[in-house]
Structure 1
C-alpha cells in the first residue's frame, strides 16, 4: 500500500502516462494505476516529487466532469 505524498521515485515499478494533449514544455500531469486499483498523479515537471493518490471513483467523477465541461471556465 502506498501513502499519499510518497515520492514518485519510490514508485519506479509504475507505468506513468501523460495526455496526448500535453505540451512540449512539460506542463502536465502524469497518472499511473496502482496494483490496488487507485490512481497516482504526479507533476510531470517533477517526476521524483510527491504523488497524490485518488480512488478510482474520484478519478471517474473528475474525468466525467471534464468531459461534461464542468471545468471549462477554468481555461477560458
Structure 2
C-alpha cells in the first residue's frame, strides 16, 4: 500500500478533490479527498498545486465530531 505524507504536492495525489457547498465563490475553500489507503487529504483550493495535509480516519472522525458538537465555533466570525 502506498504511503502518503504531509507536504506532498496536492496535485500529485491520485484523488478527486471536493469542497463544501458552504464554500464561497472567491476560491477560499478547504478541499478534501479520500486516499487509496483510507486516509484523508486536505488542501487549500487557492493553491491546488501546494502541499496536502494527510490525516487518518480516526483523526478526521475526531475533528468532524468536534465540529458537529460546536467545539470550534469560537474560531469563526
Q: TM-score, normalised by structure 1?
A: 0.93
Q: 2-side partners of 1:3 and 1:73: how far apart? A: 30
CA positional deviation for 1:10: 1.1
Unaligned runs of 5+ in 1: none
- Deviating above 3 A after TM superposition, structure 1's stretches of 4 or more consecutive aligned residues are none
CA distance in 1, matches of 2:60, 2:71: 14
Instruction: Please list, as runs of the form range in 1=range in 2, the aligned pairs for 1:6-17 lying within 5 A after superposition.
Output: 6-11=8-13, 13-17=14-18
**In the alignment, does 2:1 pair up with 1:5?**
no
CA distance in 1, matches of 2:65, 2:30: 17
CA drift at 1:75: 1.1
Task: Return the offset for 1:24.
Answer: 0.3
TM-score by length of 2: 0.92
The Cα RMSD (Å) is: 0.8
Does residue 49 in structure 1 map to residue 47 in structure 2? no
Task: Report the CA distance between 1:64 and its aligned residue.
Answer: 0.5
CA deviations 1:23-70 (Å, max 9, x no partner) are 001111000000110000000100010001000010001010010000
Q: Which runs of 5+ in 2 are unaligned?
A: none
